[in-house]
Structure 1
Amino acid sequence: MDFKEGKYKVRDIKLAAEGRKKIEWAESRMPVMMELREKYSKTKPLKGFKIAGCLHVTKETAVLVETLKAAGAKVSWSGCNPLSTQDEIAAALAKSGIEIYAWHGQNVKEFYWSIEQTLKMKPNLTLDDGADLIFTVHNKYPELAKNIVGGTEETTTGVHRLRAMAAAKKLLYPVIAVNDAETKWDFDNVYGTGQSSIDGILRATSVLLAGKNFVVAGYGHCGRGVAMRAAGMGANVIVTEVKPTAALKAALEGFRVMPMDEAAKIGDIFITATGVKDVIVSKHFKSMKDGAIVCNTGHYDCEINIPHLEKLKKSKRTVRPNNEEYTLKNGRRIYLLAQGRLVNLAAAEGHPSEVMDMSFANQFMSQLRLAEVKMKGIKLEPDVIDIPEEQDQEIAMIKLKTMGYKIDKLTREQVKYINDYSAGT
């Protein structure tokens, strides 16, 4: 482990050159972020701002971090998941002068130690994925909140919890819900999660998906993306849900819908994408067929109740990277991928760069928005704030332009017609 007090703690700083190549590859696939970097590196609107970030340390995240730095910010970073940090990326960021505390395979104590290191600089902006950094501020260092202008939150689970905090009047500073931007949840969550989760499953197992009963727990944006991609590879998709409208959508897309109690008996591959704990528990493991594969693509590792699986096991061994074989007392084998963590990040490389281009553009522009508020002397109430429609459309338009697409524009008469409430049939 390489450690420099107040600078970084990473697995091996010698991995920096390998990490830099991957970051450069991501840059070549993230034209929106690179356009924003070129624009704001000249004006440096984040000069004087200190950003503490807690987000998966991947090549795409590195593009975001270095864009924040190019815009003038001082950045201190940690990973938001013990198994998602890519050590070569962490090394490359450390080598380039970014303060970072992240390495693959952290235990719980090391995970929160890393977050606490990023708070030592007393940030005035936070950037989060899952809200662990925000919760650390609120639960352990609430005195820091008075100097924090605001924060941004990347993922569904984090936004849900922050909205609950705001409703309970417990939130100490405003947070922009990046996850709820259309250019985030309808692209990153659907196409990013769908492709990268399948990628993680295949890297960890190398199984054939065609013909398999593929059980997706949760048919939100992430579950929909996974179901779509699994079906595209020939799997027989089964969806489990608790929300009637979501279950109905899955049914009308042609997927079988049933309770997990029934799906557990026939599934070959199971993936959870709910944001809720105890989706797969002891009774489900007991009824699964021999050879069933179980994994998670929700933010936290509690969707699959691993302690229940541990109690049922007769033996356990690692058969492939990110693939543990549990032999149960009934003789059946269950294969748990990525220790129940995010299979797309722990067993693969996370979302493709092209889709993270839009998500991280939202993060960057939201940080600019918070900085602008501070510079104007405006104080926002401690609440969860939505991204404006104009930002969504601007990012989508930039993305279309970089992809070589053009679209139509409304004429003056069409605009007038849309806004004319007196117009009849």
Structure 2
Amino acid sequence: MLSLFSRLLLPFLLLLLCQPLQAAQKDPLVRLAAMPNASLLLEENGKTVASKLAGRQMIPASTLKLLTGLAALEHWGEEHRFETRFYLQDNILWVRGGGDPFLVSEELDLIVTALQEQGVHKLDGISTDATLFDSDLKIGGRSSSDNPYDAPISSLAANFNTVSYKKSANKIISAEPQTPMTALGKKIARRYAKKKSRGRVNLISEENGPRYFAELLAAKLRLAGVAVKNRLSAGQVPHGLKPIYTHKNSRTLSTVVAAMMEHSSNFIANSLFLLMAGDKGPLDMNKAQQRMQKWIRKRFKWKEFKVVEGAGLSRENHLSARQLLEVVKEFKPYRELLPNHKGKVLAKTGTLRGISCYAGFLKRDGSWQPFSLLINQPSDYYFRVRVAEALSTRHRLPTALCGKDC
């Protein structure tokens, strides 16, 4: 039997023995090393300093936007501006969508001013041509929720095919001073206002995008003093008609990509993904996949990978940490477009259910170093951030995170 002294001492001994184990469990790098479905690659000045399952194909989630962003920047260049063309026939204003993913309300104000300068003061109606993109796009991973990140993609769209609303005195009004509420916007918002008095929801279907754009443009024109009859239609711009105005977005591609990264915009990402397939419609996901695969094989010489869309929505997308690190390294000239975390990390997150990823650059000894982290098992949301911070500040890394590449 244990003596009284031994019985009193035993809890303290057990506590002392457990402290190192508890500390190890709290250490994000030790935890990462023990995860069976997590991969990591970190380089410092071209030398691998941390590696775990770097060659395994994993689901990248929204870190795939690094690949889409790089492809777009190399395809068009940082200063590229997307275009939307306007035509006039029999006092009907035709609008041909060019896939510009950033036609926000403020951009429509610039369009209205330009149209007035071109002599547009009275219109019998507005017709939209959104035939550049296929009318029945099948995007892997996109669900039918009302959330803005599930917004439908169309080649003519306002405000990322979303509407911001609020309920005031039992009326549905716009939650944005720069965006008039339209008939379609009100109809869609009313579906959700019973449960939530304020919010931003998507337009549900592809065909609603051009309709909402036309309604919003008509409202903006009326506010500017242009008489517009409520005749809205869709079709194709009559053959041979010359544009009266070509609008180049006020934002360059680099600004668009930065916004895509900051807000993880699936709408922007898959718009870019489709647009890179060519300039003649209808563009669909099959064409976009083929074009992207061709570019990837030529650019990176990869053999094993899978990219089915550009936003990282689909679980069918597969890249390894090594492949993603190659993308990150090529993204170096554009790294300032990535979200900045406390001046220590410039990186893109990726999140799906049970998936948590992070890739970009972290600062070690005052210089930016590339890393990729793909966790394909449940973990708390900020775990990846703690891993990146630890990789940034600690010189001695766990030996379990130094695989054959180190």
- Higher relative contact order structure (alpha carbons within 8 Å, sequence separation ≥ 6): 2
When normalised by structure 2's length, the TM-score is 0.24
- Greater fraction strand: 2
Q: Which has the higher helix share?
A: 1
Q: Which structure has the larger Rg?
A: 2
